[in-house]
A = this chain, B = another copy of it.
Amino acid sequence: MTNTAAIIGGGVIGGGWAARFLLNGWNVRISDLDPQAERKISEVLNNARRSLPGLSDAALPPEGKITFCGSIEEAVSGAGWVQESVPERLEIKQEVYARIQALTGNDVIIGSSTSGFRPSELTRGAAHPGAIMVCHPFNPVYLLPLVELVTSEAASATQIADARAVLTGLGMYPLHLRKEIDAHVADRFLEAVWREALWLVRDGIATTEEIDNAIRYGFGIRWAQMGLFETYRVAGGEAGMRHFMAQFGPALKWPWTKLMDVPEFTDELVDLIAGQSDEQSGHHSIRDLERIRDNNLVCMMRALKSQNQGAGALLNEHEAQMRAGTVLAALADDIEDASQPVVTIHRAVPLDWTDYNGHMNEARYLDAFGLATDRFMELIGCDAAYIASGGSYFTAETHIRHLDEVHAGTVITVRTRVLAGGGKKMHLWHEMYDGDRVLATGEHFLLHVDLATRRSAPAGPDVDAALRRFADAQAGLPLPEGAGAAIRAPR
């Protein structure tokens, strides 16, 4: 059964939640008083649709259905999760919870997107206080995995486990705080940095652009992958974390931040900062900046995915969950009919595979075919465990025909046929489709290799048998058009 999420309060954050639920296969019911809500949310959805589906190397489930509702009560009807992103005023939030919980019980979690309020404040006077918890996300909600989960004492272990399961299922990382505190964890850091930045601009030490550069060319990119403590652990070197801390202890007594005081928030300061920000990037529209940001985030997260680190390690974990139970998770033994090509790739084209026009780059066709080959190898038992035991297939030759173009976000399918196989050899034929449209073909000749000597050697008996099963069953198929062909002779 398809799950349904009620989104109470649209805007950038509510819209981001709507996009994350919808693109992960949930139905979404939205309540927002703003007559512009539908337009605003559709803009967030457009951004999400171009960036999220290709982020992972596994296909997302089919999109759910989105409904705009006339009231909170209508939106909540039938919902298994309610996400509240109304303005940051406690009395408004409490009233919204009362209206929701007139219709829902202890089993329907209400996640609050609040940046600052503690759950003990949010749940005061509620009918089902345990079901109300802070689920504070980060913009853009459809891409960034962090969600701060803060629960009150009324929350049961089951309610907390349910909330974790839903958030993890959306590809998010629920950080469950050990205790509640104003502004949770991340926004306390943001507030500290914001206050210091206001001083630096006000005192004329650096402009907004210079401060942004100080962050993104230095500690920002360092924190993106390891955070604060791990970065310092590495910097401390062999002497260890205690030694590092001993060095930096004295600085706590030095005037190295102005945070012992708060700058006065005058019109002059606002004008100074807004003016510098216009100077820095007023030539870009906000829509442009959103696309630039999302491209950057997707490309960096996928770079980290290749290293299985940071946000990329989360992506890999989520992908493993998504693959479980899909057709691509089947093993060769489960494929009863080996006589037809098998689906080895079914995924959206990610932003980092495309050029500035949004078309898939030439070299990325080989990435896709390489992934298809990896997947076929897994199918015949040449999986991570087999490779760790010392054998694998290496590609010796590749012949790609580029037949048509494809854009970021398009779901491509690769079907793989075995032209020949057995002993040291494996000869594969991949066809890449967008629906019925053939985009490219890839012919690949691989040799099985002993990873110790890095020389060719026969495959292990199980892998060999699984490969021969496909090769024999498919031997009767007609030779695909283009197979065994050379690039036309140059003379």
Q: Evaluate contact between B116 and A280: CB separation under 8 angstroms.
A: no
**Chain A 188-227 interface 0/1 with B at a Cβ cutoff of 8 Å (1 = within):** 1111111111101001111111111111111111111111
Tell me the A residues contacting B by CB distance below 8 Å: 12, 116, 138-139, 144-146, 148, 173, 175, 177-179, 181-183, 185-198, 200, 203-231, 233-238, 240-242, 245-246, 248-249, 251-263, 265, 270, 273-274, 276-278, 280-281, 286, 289-290, 292-293, 295-297, 299-304, 306-307, 309-311, 314, 352, 361-364, 366-367, 370, 394-402, 405, 419-420, 427, 443-445, 454, 479, 483-491
B residues in contact with A479, CB < 8 Å:
490-491
B residues in contact with A193, CB < 8 Å:
189, 192-193, 228
B residues in contact with A223, CB < 8 Å:
215-216, 220, 223-224
Task: Output the nearest chain B residue to A480 by Cβ-Cβ distance.
Answer: B490
- Knowing that A216-B227, A363-B370, A399-B487 touch, tell me 20 more A-B residue pairs with CB under 8 angstroms: A144-B218, A175-B206, A178-B206, A182-B254, A185-B210, A189-B196, A192-B192, A215-B223, A217-B310, A220-B220, A221-B297, A225-B297, A226-B293, A245-B270, A292-B309, A299-B303, A302-B303, A362-B370, A363-B364, A420-B491
Q: Give the shortest distance, in Å, between A338 (CB) and chain B (any CB).
A: 17
B residues in contact with A226, CB < 8 Å:
212, 216, 293, 296
Q: Evaluate contact between B116 and A217: CB separation under 8 angstroms.
A: no
Q: Evaluate contact between A235 and B300: CB separation under 8 angstroms.
A: no
10 A-B interface contacts by CB (under 8 A): A138-B218, A139-B235, A146-B213, A175-B217, A195-B257, A220-B225, A224-B300, A236-B286, A237-B286, A363-B363
B residues in contact with A293, CB < 8 Å:
222, 225-226, 231, 234
B residues in contact with A274, CB < 8 Å:
240-242, 245
Cα separation A258 to B307 with both chains bound (whole Å)? 36
Q: Evaluate contact between A304 and B309: CB separation under 8 angstroms.
A: no
Q: Evaluate contact between A217 and B280: CB separation under 8 angstroms.
A: no
Q: Evaluate contact between B484 and A290: CB separation under 8 angstroms.
A: no
B residues in contact with A252, CB < 8 Å:
195, 198, 262-263, 265
Q: Give the shortest distance, in Å, between A85 (CB) and chain B (any CB).
A: 13
Residue of A148, A259, A352 with highest tally of chain B CB at under 10 A:
A259
B residues in contact with A402, CB < 8 Å:
394-398
